[in-house]
Amino acid sequence: MKRRGFPKKGMDQSELMSRIEEIRSKDTDFADGTIFGSMCTSPLDMAKKVHGLFLETNLGNPGLYRGTLELEKEIHSSVASLLNAPEGYEALSVGGATEGNILALWSSREKTGKRKVIIPESAHFSFKKACNLLDMEPVMIPLDDKYQPDLSTVEEEIDDDTAVVVAIAGTTELGLIDPIHDLADISGDVHLHVDAAFGGFAIPFLKEAGYSLPEFDLSIDGVDSIVLDPHKLGMSTIPLGLYYSREEHPIAIESPYLTGAHQKTIPGTRASASIPAFWSVMNYLGFEGYVSIMERCMNNTRTLLMKGKEIGLEPIVDPVLNIVSFHHEDPVRVVETMERKGLSISRTVNPPGLRFVVMPHVTEESILKMIPILEDSI
């Protein structure tokens, strides 16, 4: 791209907005019914409206935004009950699960002085990023024939140098939930962190709807921290993650010239409009509203599973959450072919396959329109 100089004069507003509309039209909208590979979805209209009212809020300087801070505290308390957090927990609003995962590793390193991190191969790539940033040593755990971490290898790898063990509640590729009870037993006194970025706003509501799913949260003795993302199945705006620790987070950097004495998150200035946006969605939908959304997602998940089988695709696993992945020997080719046809799907790496995330914007109608195109592409 040819380098442009910084504009010398301001642009006419109508011309500027015309350019913005042109650019925005190149982006894909969830409402188009063409996105089948994203773990995010369109926020509720209410969330978008509320987000716009708080664009200048910055909880990095909390004394100036007491109202936003009040809503943050209400969110932390409400979601703590969803996660069965014990007395004495600490909650932090973060920019998403990547930041939460970094905080968990950082915290365990500071508390123990150790650097070894036990990570299942199904974990999100953010853990490798965290290890790189923190100069920690990732030890990747192979998966068993059910695509879950091999527990015997975890047990063998835990030693006196281990700072933290990672577990996943809603794996990125297959939507599986690790055997967190077993991992807690094996980990013993070693910090166990659960990445529930995807599953955190799915599992509690599906359990209420009658789905047989395992415990994954702070109700399990031995789970020390957990992160989940309201900007995924929480139906809120980007970016927002919620990080919970069983005990106080040990890192607090002094910020003497701001209205808060210390900062515990990674960013200094924190874009905070997503906090009141999520507060509004949480209180508008309530527990029952989230149950209804997840039941609809799972109904559509079963439809996609059935239609995929009808065109000859074999599922890698029976879906546990609203992710369907099918075996395919050349997923890159299929993903690129579908992209040329205006449809966005994703792929798995271990094992190779085609991945579909059945988010709230994915409807039965959009699935039925997509399937013939997929059949021609495979």
Whole-structure pTM value: 0.95
- Whether residues 212 and 336 fall in one domain: no
Residues 6+ apart with CB under 8 A from 77: none
Amino acid 347: pLDDT: 98
* Cβ neighbours, 10 Å, residue 30: 16
Residue 6 lies in a domain: no
Count Cβ atoms below 10 Å from residue 68 Cβ, excluding itself.
Answer: 19
Question: Domain holding 332: CATH number?
Answer: 3.90.1150.10
User: Based on the domain organization, do 73 and 127 belong to the same domain?
Assistant: yes
What is d(CA 185, CA 159) in angstroms, rounded to the nearest whole number? 15
What domain range includes position 274? 47-282
Identify whether residues 115 and 195 lie together within a single domain: yes
Find where tokens 């036990």 sit. 118
Number of domains composing the chain = 2
pLDDT of residue 252: 80
Q: Look at residue 360 in the predicted model and tell me its pLDDT.
A: 98
Q: Does residue 326 sit in the same domain as residue 339?
A: yes
Query: In angstroms, rounded to a whole number, what is the distance separating the alpha carbons of residues 173 and 327?
Result: 12
Looking at the fold, whether 294 and 159 belong to one and the same domain comes out as: no
- Choose one of 264, 282, 300: the last residue of a domain: 282
Give the Å distances, CA to CA, from 377 to 220, 258, 305, 366, 371: 44, 56, 17, 17, 10
Whether 322 maps to a domain, the answer reads: yes
Instruction: Please give the structure tokens belonging to residue 258.
Output: 């701001």
Residue from 374, 84, 376 nearest 223 by CA: 84
Burial class (CB in 10 A: 0-12, 13-18, 19+), 160: exposed
Q: What is the mean pLDDT of each run of 10 residues along the chain (378 residues)?
A: 86 96 94 95 97 96 95 98 96 97 96 97 96 98 97 98 98 98 97 98 98 98 97 97 91 78 86 97 98 98 98 98 98 98 96 98 98 98
pLDDT tens digit sequence for 271-309: 899 999 999 999 999 999 999 999 999 999 999 999 999
